[in-house]
Structure 1
């Protein structure tokens, strides 16, 4: 299992409002984002390495870059 951090907007992996989670891969971030509908943009980190940015563009539609 690997440890990832999900941050919202201008937060960094070290901020208190970042969500840390353990999973086999980073796709679990999408499940977490579904539980936080107030956020439409997030960044997924593994340690200090930025893995991707996720943006909600509609109901159940996510763009990953």
Structure 2
């Protein structure tokens, strides 16, 4: 799944004479290790997303 996302994001989007590149940050939480209800899982996923954006800002990542 990660490779598929990376492939799609690696492709530049062309609109007329303009070229756009995309990037993404993902935060994931896993039940039950990160929480036992939806509220806690969403809170932990949001926290991990924030950490991901902060840690890898301006750099390239791959798995």
Which TM-score tier does this pair reach, normalised by the shorter chain? under 0.3
Higher helix content, 1 or 2: 2
What TM-score, normalized by structure 1, do the two folds share? 0.27
What TM-score, normalized by structure 2, do the two folds share? 0.27
**Structure number, greater radius of gyration:** 2
